[in-house]
Structures are given as C-alpha cells and as structure tokens.
Chains A and B, each alone.
Chain A
C-alpha cells in the first residue's frame, strides 16, 4: 500500500472492502484476493490489516457476518454488505472522489 497518513489509509481500506462486497458475500481471504485482482496487482493490501478493518465495519453496522462452510467443507466467516453499508458506500465514494479532486487541484496549480 502506498504510504499515506493512517486515517486516510484506514478510510481507503474500508472503501475498498465495501466496494468488493457489493458483488457477493465473501470471506476475508477472498476479499483480499479480489482487491489485489481488481487493482491489477498494483494494490497489495497488507492482508493482516483487513481483519481489524472488517471488525470496525461490522461495529458500524455497515457489514454483517456469519459462519458458513465452503465448497471444500471448511468453516469460514462470510461478510455481507448491509443496507446501511450500501448507503455508506455511496457517501464514502463521493467523499473519496472529492478528496482526490482537491489534491489534484492543488497539484495542478503550478
């Protein structure tokens, strides 16, 4: 992950997780694999930091989890987006885009 201030990093990770979960419920490893896949290998999420992020999102009520068995008959915790989470995703995406625009504006003025 590029070096950004901690809270921006945290917020960005939350955004990525929410976005990834719009497709289907997934377990932690699946989310990290999907993020890596979609970013075309450019974002190599520190996989360990995913789990505190998932707990935080669950405490906010934006995702919910349940234990399920996978195709290989293993037990895994699957995460799913909630209605509140879907709304939050929209809001977070907007504020992220605005943030990027502001940074671009500043960088653009020379």
Chain B
C-alpha cells in the first residue's frame, strides 16, 4: 500500500517537474527563513544571520540537484532532449530517414498483419463461456482408416446419457447445406445447419431476440421452428423485431422463427444463415442405420472441475460397453475427444507459423538494412562525436543518445508499419480462401498493438546497438585522428560490414528457399492429373426438395428432362448428370464384397457416385476396360455398375473385374442387392489433388435415386457463358427451384488448390520484398566498402598493377562474403525447412533443386553487387583519387 502511494508521488514528480521544483524552492525558503530567525534571536545582525543560515544549510544549488536526482528527472530530461535532437537530425536527412522508415514499415507491417491472424485464429479463445470446457467428440475406425470422423447419432445420444463427465452433448450436421427461403419476395438461398435442441445451450449462446432451441425440439414432435442469424435478420428482414414468432417458408415448409442470434455468432461455419433442429423420429433411435450411418459432429461441455483426460476415460468405458452391446455396427468403432479450439484451428497452425517466421525473417533483413544506414550515418558524423568527446561528454551518454536515435527511428517505422499492417489484415481477410482462417475479420486488438510495440522496440535496440557501441567506444584523440582523411576505416567497422553482408545473404536465402519450396510444391500439385478434363465444363448443382419430388420417378423425370434440354442448348456439345463433383469430397461410402469371395474377404470405404451415361464423355474420363454406362442401363434392366481403376487394382488384382458381381455390404445376405461390373474407368481425385484417388463405384442414374445432382455441360467456348441459358432451362421446368451453385470445373479445380496457392503467394511476397531489401542492403554495404578502399586501389593502379587484377581483388572480397552467407543460409535452411514438411507435396524439405536455384540467383545478384562498385572505383582517375579526400 505504501509502495503504491510512493509510486504516485514519484509519478507526479516526473510528470510535473517544474511544479515540483517550485515547491522545493518554497520549502527551502521557509527553512532558510526559520534558520535566519534562529540566528536573529541569538542577537546577530540580519545580514550575518542570513549568512550563517546559508552556511548551515549547505549548498542550495546542490540540494536542488540532489533532489532532482532522487526524482529521476535527469534521466527523463535526457531522454526527451535526445529524442528531440534525434528528430531534428532525421529531418535534416529526409532521404535517409525516409528509406529507413519505409524499410522498417515493411518489416513491421508484415509482422503486424500475420500476428493479427495468428492472434485472431489461434490465440484468441472461442467466443463461448468457459470455452476450455468444450470438447469435440469424434469416432474412429482403424479398419476403415477413419480418424476424427463424424459420429453416428445413436452413439452420440448414448454418450450423452452414459458419460457422467459430460454436462451435455450436442450435435450438428457436418455439412452446411443450402435451402430456399420463399414467400418473402424473391426466393433466396440460405446456408443452413441442422442441430440438436441443446446445441445453443451446450455452447452457451443466448439469443439476442426471442429464444434458441430447447432439448425436446431435437425430436420430430410439435411445429417446425428455426433460428436465424443476425446478418440475415438485418439484410433480409430489415431488422424487424416482429420476426420472432413469424412463420417463414423454407423449402416450401412453414416454420416459425423463434429467435435471432447475436451478431458475430457463427458456428460451425462462418456464414451460416439459419439453424434448424434435426427433428429425428423417435422410433429411429432404435434402428440399426441410426447407429451405422455417420454424419453428425458432436460437441460436449465438460462438467466444471472435470479434466479432459477424466472425461476421456469415462468415454472409453462407454465406448467399450457399446461395442459389446451392438457388435454389428460398433465392433470396430472407437471414439475420442479433442479440445474444441484445437479441433477447429489445428490445421491452420503450421501455415500461420510459417508465415510468421517469414515475416520475422523479413523484419530481420529490414533491421540489418536500417542498421547499416545508421552506421554509415554514425561514421559520417565522427568529427562531431570527436568534438563532443573532447568537450567532456561521457561515452555512455553518447551511446545512450545513439540508442535513443535508433529507438525514435524504429518507433516512426513502427507507426508506419502499424498502418501498413492494418491494411494488410483487411487484405488477408478478403483474399483468404473460404474458411481457411477461422474468422473472417482479422482485426487488430490490444495484443497485436503490444506485439508491434515489442518488436518495434526490439528492432530499435537491435539495429541501434552497433552505432551506439561505435559512438561510445572511441576516445577523442583517435576519433579526431581518423577524421583526418577519408582513408582506411576502422577495423571494427569493416568487421561489422562483413558480418552484415553474411547475415543478410543468409536471411535472404532462408526466406527465398522457404518460398521456393512452396512454389515447387504447388507446381507438383498442379501437375497431378485430376482424372478428368476440366476445361470447357460448367457444373450447375441443384437440390430437389422432397416435398414436391417425393418419388424416385419424379426425381428421375426432372433430371432427365433437364439434361435433355441442356444438351440441346446452343453451344453445348454434351450434357451429363453426377451426384458429386470430383475434388469436392465423398458423399457416401460403404463396405463391399464380390460374389465368390471367401466370407470375411471384403473391402471398405468405397465411394458411391451416381452418374448419367454421358458423364464419361463430358468429363473425358478414359474407359480402360469393358464399356461405360449406357442408356440401356435403365430401371428394370440388370443392375450395372462401373468401377474406377483404383478399385480394380486393389480388389481385383490379377482378375478381370468385368462380369464380377458386387454387393455393398460386408457380408451378403438374402436382402443384398447385386450389381454387375460392366466397365473400369480412370480414377478421379475425390478429395484434393494431394490425396490419391479413392476406390469408387459409379451407378447409373436411371437405376438409383439421388435428389441432389449436378448438371455438367461441355462446351467449346467459355463455360460460364452458358450459365444464363441453363438458369432459364431450370426455371422453365420448375420456377421455384433455386440453383445451389454454378461453377466452371476449372474453378472447382482451382478452388481445391486455393489454400496452397494462398500460402505460396504470401510467402513469395515476403521473399520478394526481403530479396529486394537484401540486395539493396548488400549493394550499399559493398559500395561503401569499395569506396573506402578506393585510395588503396588508386595507389595500386598508379604503381602499375593491372586494373583488372585490382578490381578482381575487391570483387573477390565481396564474393567471399556472399558465399559465406550462402553457406550459413544453406545450413540453416536445411535445418529450418524441415518444419515445413507438412505443407509440401512431393518435395523434400531440403530439395536440392530449389536450394541450388535460390543459391544461384543470390550468387548472381551478389556478383553484380560486388562488381559494379569495384568497376566504378577502378575506372576513376588514380590521380584524382590520391589527391582528393
């Protein structure tokens, strides 16, 4: 308590020094008056009394000085004076100051932007109460290779009831889908997620208006309800408070809006507009398929005081029990839990850290450049320094002043960098591939400001140390002597310049090598054959609401008519239907086995897709054996299926798959459906180009029912130009149907590479800037070094040495430094890029080709940077050089 009061006194004294001085003077006056009175009473004359009082007091001026020392004012005063002096000198050299501030701004700005992203995505806790108690529950199946997989609803409900450590468990459908809102003006597509009734209570989110769901609404009883997002409430319903309680039509069904959520709530995805309850049928709970089909994500809230490890232990017990109770579905199903935060940000951590490291390297290069600028300035002012030393300035004082200058410069650069960084965060948020960063608005908050302040100060100290040491470490005579002629620089300065070159080259190598690896990885990805020809193909995705299309016949009729009409559109050479576009994941997987196999010999995880016969022609998927599907494979005809090459190779090794009969169960029984394999086609990639194609079976559209199909159109020109015609064709068939998405397949392919491309472009940008800065910096240092040796060169040439040899000697020195830098950079890169392994596709972290290219580029640049100044110096007239200063 006392210490706090004391600090307040100290602060007051520091902030208002002149007032404190006046108070002290008043106290001293009072003291002297009383002391004088004492002597007066003893009978002395007023003048003599005053004199005695002053003697007894001691030195008044000394008291004032000591008092100021105790207050610590001197230190603050010195700082303020130094800062003002620094600002004046910087204003006198606007070019140098501008260059330094700009360089710093680039380095600080990059770090500010990336750290904002790191802060917003990784460091900031989830916006729920007690987010540390939220965990994601997942299922795994070693047999099928499932890991952190979606869960089956029956299991979810059992965990909820049987695991005591969970306060509650909620579920949500893993894919957000799109539905049509009609009856409120033009039909509008909304992104919707289905959730269990306790979803919002588990997360701890309250409605801003109205209410959220209650637990009972998980089940299909009572009227359908909905909860809308704040954005939809504002954009579409005009912030109407009367929305709560109103009925809206979703996919033709009437639903009552019971609540509006607070702004900025968006879980599980960034742009969910509407939340609907899952409305499961209570009788389904006991069904086998309810436990066999996996499609929900499960979020649990732990009871207070329960650790995740304890909860996991209880979960495993329940999982074991379920395995025994339901062997048919659960024999191989394990489960586990992960902190929700970790689950959501896990795969952005490495890319963001790589970017942060890249920005850090850029900042170091910037610091090296500014450090050199300041050193040049310091050596240029050696006469001034010498004079001040001779006049009695202390060395620590000069060093402190140099350091203050550096800090002022770095704060200027930091302020500019903050502005640049703010712009950078807007760019990041806007340009990021969909859903890569967990949040869309990567803003700056206090943590970011503190981080920027910290790195700014650290940078200032880093590049200020050398000039400070230089200013403080000289004695007057030596300084005056060196200032005589612009001859040889001090040995220390040369060592500093050498170290600077080696360091900058090494840093530039690291940064460029990292970017180079990402570029190669991206190139390798682009070289992967996706299995189809994307150019000239337009994909239009639709969802048929099952209220109006309630029979297989109606669905088939719609899609087949649409396909025929689309094929007849001008410009369209062929049209086809497919249930899931390649590169967008898999919708349905199952086990399978073939007739004639031994019991227990089955396969898992075969992807199912439903296609129309034209699919293979439209997508130009090669038919490797047998025949593709044709119009003959229709309802009533023998069930035919086409398998992809991956499936043929893995399950039918050595056999001819044509004619084999497949069923899609682990163990066939009397109810199993059998499909005859009629052809083998080339494998397409389902989940991105980096993962190998999965085994897949393609079924004829006419023999299967699928409500959500994509129409594919092949054209010779630009596929997107067909979009309006297709929209019209759809509207002609069903005016109230909204199109889910219209994309060129080329765009689908590009989107699957979006993350890799984004990361590569960013790191490449950092490397580009860093390389330019490093080249400029190294050139500057080498030019200055050469200039300092121009006298020596002049003497040599005057004495008859061949110009070329003299020049070469200087160039050799520069080259040696650059090669040393490449060596250091190379070794550190080999060690550092190992961390990037997770981001590279078919490229080794220490890829020799990349490293060699980067080294060659840097060496070539370095050669030019050494040669130019040497050439210029050697061309100067030796007489002029020797004579001049």
Contact = CB atoms under 8 A, between A and B. Distances in A.
A77 B9 contact: no
B799 interface: no
B56 A47 contact: yes
Contacts of A52: 63, 66-67, 69-70
B689 to A, nearest CB: 68
Contact of A58 (B9, B28, B30, B57): B9
Interface stretch (A15-23, A82-90, A94-102): A82-90
Given A28-B31, A59-B6, 13 more contacts: A52-B67, A52-B69, A58-B9, A59-B7, A59-B9, A59-B10, A59-B70, A60-B3, A61-B2, A61-B5, A74-B33, A76-B27, A82-B2
B59 interface: yes
Interface in B769-810: none
B30 A55 contact: no
Nearest to B5: A61
B876 to A, nearest CB: 61
A64 interface: yes
Contacts of A34: none
Contacts of B2: 60-62, 82-85
Interface in A36-64: 46-49, 51-52, 55-56, 58-62, 64
A51 B9 contact: no
Contacts of A75: 26, 30
Interface string B50-91: 000000111110110011011100000000000000000000
Interface string B11-34: 001000000000110111011011
B31 A47 contact: yes
B58 to A, nearest CB: 4
**Contact count band on B:** 20 to 34
B61 to A, nearest CB: 9
B3 A48 contact: no
Contact of B3 (A32, A56, A84): A84
B4 A48 contact: no
B5 A27 contact: no
Nearest to B24: A51
A86 B341 CA distance: 52
Interface size band for A: 20 to 34
B71 A55 contact: yes
B5 A64 contact: yes
Contact of B30 (A27, A48, A82, A84): A27
Given A49-B66, A55-B70, A82-B2, A77 B10 contact: no
Contacts of A58: 6, 9
A77 B23 contact: yes
A75 B26 CA distance: 9
Nearest to B72: A59
Secondary structure call for the B interface: helix
B31 A29 contact: yes
Contacts, number: 83
25 contacts: A27-B27, A28-B30, A47-B58, A48-B59, A48-B60, A48-B62, A48-B66, A49-B58, A49-B66, A51-B28, A51-B66, A55-B71, A59-B7, A59-B10, A59-B70, A59-B71, A60-B2, A60-B3, A61-B2, A61-B4, A61-B5, A76-B30, A77-B23, A83-B1, A84-B2
Contacts of B59: 48
A61 B63 contact: no
B847 interface: no
A74 B37 CA distance: 14
Contacts of A64: 5
Given A27-B30, A61-B3, A84-B3, A51 B63 contact: yes
Contacts of B62: 48
Contact of A61 (B6, B31, B33): B6
A55 B6 contact: no
B58 A48 contact: yes
A51 B24 CA distance: 8
A81 to B, nearest CB: 10
Given A61-B4, A84-B2, A85-B2, A49 B34 contact: no
B35 interface: yes
A37 to B, nearest CB: 12
A42 to B, nearest CB: 15
A3 to B, nearest CB: 15
Given A48-B60, A52-B66, A29 B34 contact: yes
A55 B60 contact: no
A48 B6 contact: no
Contacts of A51: 24, 27-28, 63, 66-67
A56 B58 contact: no
**7 tightest Cβ-Cβ pairs between the two chains A and B:** A84-B2, A61-B6, A61-B2, A48-B58, A48-B63, A52-B66, A29-B31
A49 B63 contact: yes
A55 B23 CA distance: 12
Contacts of B24: 51
A17 to B, nearest CB: 14
A18 to B, nearest CB: 13
Nearest to A52: B66
Nearest to B32: A29
Interface string A63-79: 01000000000111100
A55 B35 CA distance: 21
Interface string B285-309: 0000000000000000000000000
Nearest to A60: B6
A47 to B, nearest CB: 5
A54 to B, nearest CB: 9
B9 A47 contact: no
Contacts of A74: 30, 33
Nearest to A55: B70
